[in-house]
Amino acid sequence: MLKSLGGGSGSGSGSGASTQFSDVTGNTTLSASNTAVAVNATGGAVTITLPTAVGDTNLYTIKKTDSSANTVTVVGNGGQTIDASANAIITQQYTSITLKSDNSNWFII
């Protein structure tokens, strides 16, 4: 359940790639075209799966936007870890994490 909220134009200096920002209300797997998500877990716990860390140079940002007690769980792809753990859990409204790959696993930065 992914809803696009817009993206950058990519104009100016840099790679020219746009960053897609999306509103998420259910379990989702991120991709290179979907790197920033606002998660509304009002309807239940949500799991966000990262793409493979191998060869991925993107930053991924996940933010919980609702005030419910439901969690947002971020997991690596195929057993890849996040700061040496199986997952990262977001429990508080407006809390976000940004992740970067070391080409084999993910790290919160």
In the chain, DSSP assigns E strands to: 2-7, 20-24, 28-29, 36-39, 46-49, 59-64, 72-75, 87-90, 96-101, 106-108
pLDDT at 32: 87
As a whole number, mean pLDDT of residues 31-37 equals 92
The more confident residue out of 77 and 18 is 77
Query: Number of H helices and number of E strands within the chain?
Result: 0, 10
CA distance 55 to 3: 26
CATH class of 19-108: mainly beta
Is pLDDT of 13 > 90?
no
**Extents of the domains making up the chain:** 19-108
Q: Tell me the pLDDT tens digit for each residue of 38-82.
A: 999 999 999 999 999 999 999 999 999 999 999 999 999 999 999
- 8 pLDDT band, cuts 50/70/90, is very low
